């Protein structure tokens, strides 16, 4: 089957750089709605048999224009939500962002038992995301499904689960609002990367350069700004 994993549209928390991973989460900014509205045209040539979203409001709002265009229902699936920020929830300072980013890096280098205080371990994250993807796959064995999820969750799961991926490259991947990862395969046989579009599906005109994705690794020197987090 084919999976199109799409990050949600821009939220107010993305704009201010806050690690916002709790439920129900914020809605979309006007730009976020424009990003979502551009998805149907961007995917006009793609087969879409089903549409899924996480329990957080922003993914369901992002999926709505495509669902209306394809006349499909949106199924909300537990497990597709963002990686928990734990003690760093709603923080935007450098220490918080570095702590969040470094947790994911530790998971990808084998420290799956590590967890941010008040958050989840790598083992727990991968187990719940694997289960959610397995649910989607079981309903679309020979089809294609859109899954609207979250930036850090998509990047970390893809880096951990795609066949033939160099983790030294994967830790530098970015995924801006309504960027997309396309994969083929099954949970049993493994997944293969077909395409990675870091920019918004509607094009660069819908990218906000002041509200970037969480960098794959902290950037700059102490005291310099750190790029805006995922969510």
Could you report the per-residue pLDDT of 13-40, keeping only the tens digit for each? Answer: 999 989 999 999 999 999 999 999 999 9
Q: Which residue has the higher pLDDT, 68 or 225?
A: 68
Tokens matching residue 49: 């048999």
**Cα angle at 79 between 94 and 115, to 5 degrees?**
40
Q: Measured between alpha carbons, how far is 123 from 229 in angstroms, rounded to an integer?
A: 22
Categorize the per-residue pLDDT at 188 as very low, low, confident or very high, splitting at 50, 70 and 90: very high
Could you count the other beta carbons within 10 Å of the beta carbon of residue 118? Answer: 11
Which pLDDT tens digit goes with each residue over 85-103?
A: 999 999 999 999 999 999 9
Q: Which residue has the tokens 């967890």?
A: 115
Which pLDDT tens digit goes with each residue over 70-89?
A: 999 999 999 999 999 999 99
CATH class in words for 2-206: alpha beta
Could you count the other beta carbons within 10 Å of the beta carbon of residue 75? Answer: 16
Which residues are CB-contacts of 78 (< 8 A; sequence separation ≥ 6)?
A: 55, 128, 132
State the sign of the Cα–Cα–Cα–Cα dihedral 71, 76, 79, 82.
Answer: positive
Q: How far apart are the first and last CA of the chain?
A: 26
Domain boundaries defined on the chain: 2-206
């Amino acid at each position: 089957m084919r999976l199109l994993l799409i990050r949600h549209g821009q939220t107010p928390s993305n704009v201010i750089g806050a690690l916002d991973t709790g439920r129900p989460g914020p809605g979309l900014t006007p730009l976020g709605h424009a990003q979502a509205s551009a998805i149907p045209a961007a995917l006009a040539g793609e087969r879409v048999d089903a549409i899924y979203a996480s329990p957080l409001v922003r993914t369901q709002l992002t999926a709505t224009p495509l669902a209306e265009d394809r006349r499909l229902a949106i199924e909300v699936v537990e497990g597709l939500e963002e990686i928990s920020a734990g003690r760093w929830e709603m923080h935007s300072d450098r220490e918080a962002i570095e702590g969040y980013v470094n947790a994911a890096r530790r998971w990808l280098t084998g420290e799956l038992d590590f967890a941010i205080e008040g958050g989840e371990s790598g083992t727990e994250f991968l187990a719940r995301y694997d289960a959610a993807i397995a649910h989607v796959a079981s309903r679309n064995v020979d089809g294609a499904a859109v899954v609207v999820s979250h930036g850090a969750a998509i990047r970390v799961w893809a880096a951990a689960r795609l066949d033939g991926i160099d983790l030294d490259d994967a830790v530098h991947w970015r995924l801006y609002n309504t960027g997309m990862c396309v994969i083929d395969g099954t949970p049993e046989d493994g997944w293969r990367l077909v395409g990675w579009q870091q920019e918004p599906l509607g094009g660069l005109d819908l990218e906000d350069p002041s509200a970037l994705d969480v960098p794959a690794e902290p950037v700059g020197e102490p005291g310099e700004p750190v790029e805006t987090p995922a969510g």
